[in-house]
Amino acid sequence: AQSVTQLDSQVPVFEEAPVELRCNYSSSVSVYLFWYVQYPNQGLQLLLKYLSGSTLVKGINGFEAEFNKSQTSFHLRKPSVHISDTAEYFCAVSGEAGTALIFGKGTTLSVSS
């Protein structure tokens, strides 16, 4: 069975500081990995995805993530955050194409000035 653990439930940071949101997964098969963002009272928006190939994945809004197979991790990073990045971030994993997503419990990123 697959599972996802987001290691931090809340991450407070100051504007322009770097941030890393941590995600570990467990799976006995090859996986696809995703990060979604949810702004207050809105739906889910795909930030980035790892399907295959380069382990460093770049997404929207300046975010990037690195797939580390040996450590079963897919941490999300941004070198300099803005107030507008305040949101809930979800890491998710799926197996072969067509299977459902398994989500982590989410990390609340709060950016203050």
- Name the residues that contact another protein, by CB under 8 A: 32, 34, 36, 42-44, 46, 49, 51, 90, 92, 94, 97-98, 100-106
Question: Half-sphere exposure of residue 59, counting CA atoms within 13 Å on the CB side?
Answer: 23
Cα–Cα distance, 14 to 113 (Å, whole number):
6
**CB 24 → another protein: shortest distance, Å?**
14
Give the integer Cα–Cα distance in Å for 92 and 101. 6
Among residues 72 and 103, whose Cβ is nearest to another protein? 103
Q: Six-digit token pair at 23?
A: 């995600």
Minimum CB separation of residue 66 from another protein in Å reads 18
* Residues 15 and 82: beta-carbon distance below 8 Å: yes
Nearest distance, CB of residue 110 and another protein, angstroms: 16
Is the CB of 52 or the CB of 70 nearer to another protein? 52
